[in-house]
């Protein structure tokens, strides 16, 4: 069974190149790539043109969509997530972040999720898994093996492998700071967790690389608090205009773990990413 891979991105052309190209080793699993460009002003369009050419020999179309609205009380991160997932055409959709890089263990993770969602009488609407988020820098050797990386923060397990017709997003988590997924199908009321052991990671499946310039990280750290405050009526207008006005509060710092990912093999040979 083939699935749709989808992603939304804001000024993340280089990250998109890494993500989509890291999916080529599992091209036989993919029906399409859908990229929703969220009002980018970098070379995201050119990157998508390049990636469409990379995918074409594998018979995988890349569909590019543009969303020009900034976040506001009337258009939230949850709305962007929802639109990105619903833009897919396959029954099963995998929602990625632009800074993900897939590794040699991802095929097994994907198959485990498919088994949960497509089993006869399945009660699952989505499958989640922990994702290690690498900060500041990442280096891989000529075979894609991680030889050096920065601090690691362990992301939670929101559903990422989804039944497209059974999923809905709302901006209601932690007073509106986070989007929250739920089921719209009374037959599919459960969420499966694919990573349960300690440490709770799917070995070599994927990493998120949050190696962004300091200004970009500072902006991102205000997105959650903006949603909280604009939905509560304490702020008005759009995210970026409030950021430029200096009216936004930064979220609390991340707590890093002691996890080492050295030796993991990613589908990204000879990579050097530095903030």
User: Which pLDDT tens digit goes with each residue over 98-140?
Assistant: 999 999 999 999 999 999 999 999 999 999 999 999 999 999 9
The span from the CA of 12 to the CA of 4, in Å, is 20
Q: Dump pLDDT digits (tens) for 186-213.
A: 999 999 999 876 667 889 999 999 988 8
163 neighbors 125 (Cβ within 8 angstroms): yes
In this prediction, residues 228-238 reach a mean pLDDT of 97
Q: Domains of the chain, with CATH numbers?
A: 3-274 (3.90.550)
Question: Token pair of 168, please?
Answer: 């809905």
Q: How high is the pLDDT of residue 212?
A: 85
Range with the lowest mean pLDDT among 72-81, 224-233, 253-262?
253-262
**Around Cβ 21, how many Cβ atoms within 10 Å?**
17
Torsion angle in degrees (nearest 10) through CA of 33, 34, 36, 37: 40
Give the total residue count for the chain: 275
Average pLDDT over residues 165-194: 96
Pair of tokens at residue 159: 């559903």
pLDDT at 119: 97
* pLDDT > 70 fraction of the chain, expressed in percent and rounded: 99
CA distances from 221 to 10, 143, 174, 210, 250 (A): 14, 34, 15, 12, 5
Judge if pTM exceeds 0.85: yes
> What residue spans of the chain are helical by DSSP H?
13-22, 44-55, 77-86, 106-118, 214-220, 223-231, 239-245
């Amino acid at each position: 069974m083939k699935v749709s891979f989808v992603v939304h991105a804001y000024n993340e052309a280089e990250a998109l190149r890494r993500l989509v190209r890291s999916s080529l080793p599992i091209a036989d699993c993919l029906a399409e790539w859908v990229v929703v460009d969220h009002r980018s002003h970098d070379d995201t369009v050119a990157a998508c043109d390049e990636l469409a050419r990379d995918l074409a020999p594998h018979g995988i179309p890349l569909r590019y969509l543009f969303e020009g609205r900034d976040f506001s009380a009337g258009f939230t991160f949850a709305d962007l997530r929802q639109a990105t997932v619903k833009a897919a055409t396959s029954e099963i959709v995998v929602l990625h972040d632009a800074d993900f890089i897939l590794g040699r263990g991802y095929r097994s993770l994907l198959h485990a999720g498919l088994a949960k969602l497509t089993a006869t009488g399945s009660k699952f609407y989505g499958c989640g898994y922990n994702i290690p988020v690498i900060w500041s820098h990442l280096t891989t050797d000529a075979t894609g093996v991680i030889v050096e990386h920065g601090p690691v923060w362990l992301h939670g397990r929101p559903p990422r492998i989804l039944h497209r017709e059974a999923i809905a997003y709302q901006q209601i988590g932690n007073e509106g700071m986070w989007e929250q997924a739920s089921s719209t199908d009374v037959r599919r009321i459960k969420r499966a967790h694919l990573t349960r052991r300690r440490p709770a990671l799917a070995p070599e499946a994927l990493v998120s690389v949050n190696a962004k310039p300091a200004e970009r990280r500072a902006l991102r750290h205000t997105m959650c608090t903006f949603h909280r405050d604009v939905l509560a009526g304490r702020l008005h207008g759009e995210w970026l205009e409030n950021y430029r006005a200096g009216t936004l509060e930064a979220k609390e710092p991340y707590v890093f773990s002691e996890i080492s990912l050295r030796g993991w093999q990613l589908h990204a040979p000879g990579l050097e990413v530095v903030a």
